[in-house]
Amino acid sequence: MLGINGPEFLLLLIIGLLVIGPSRLPEYTQKLANIVKEVRRMASGAREQIKEEVGIDIDEVDWKKYDPRQYDPRRIIKEALLEDDTKPVSTGAPAAVSTAAATAVAEHRPARILERLPEGEPAPFDSEAT
């Protein structure tokens, strides 16, 4: 309770009794009891209002489903990489490209020509580039 242990609570209670005094103590205890009753009534009213408007009881809600820790991207990626689910290929799917076909396609591509600037010449500058 607010980081207060037993002896600290007793000390605060004794200080409160000394400050309030024995003459006003019954009045303040009655006020405290009324505040506690009002808070309980408000909490049960809020629970009933949620049940009426949403249609579910708070005790029946699966709070684990709404836990944001379950959406940790590192955990999701790790699980996706570790799971071994080989899905069967459907009959209408295209066949996988073989390595021989891939090398044949690569052989027909033209070679890239790299143009180098002469030594010491600055690279072209485009003033309109962002």
Give the whole-number percent of the chain exceeding pLDDT 70: 79
- Phi, psi of 128, rounded to the nearest 5 degrees: -90, -5
Give the whole-number percent of the chain exceeding pLDDT 90: 12
How are the residues of the chain apportioned to helix, strand and coil, as percentages rounded to the nearest 5?
60, 0, 40
pLDDT at residue 37, rounded to an integer: 96
pLDDT at residue 69, rounded to an integer: 80
Instruction: Calculate the alpha carbon distances from 93 to 20, 36, 86, 101, 105 in Å.
Output: 84, 69, 15, 18, 21
pLDDT at residue 33, rounded to an integer: 95
pLDDT at residue 89, rounded to an integer: 59
pLDDT at residue 41, rounded to an integer: 95
**Which is it for the CA torsion 45, 46, 49, 51, positive or negative?**
negative
More confident residue, 99 or 120: 120
Whether 26 shows a pLDDT value over 90: the answer reads no
pLDDT at residue 130, rounded to an integer: 66
63-118 pLDDT tens trace: 888 888 878 888 888 888 887 666 655 666 555 555 666 666 667 777 778 888 89
- Phi, psi of 111, rounded to the nearest 5 degrees: -70, 145
Whether 38 shows a pLDDT value over 80: the answer reads yes
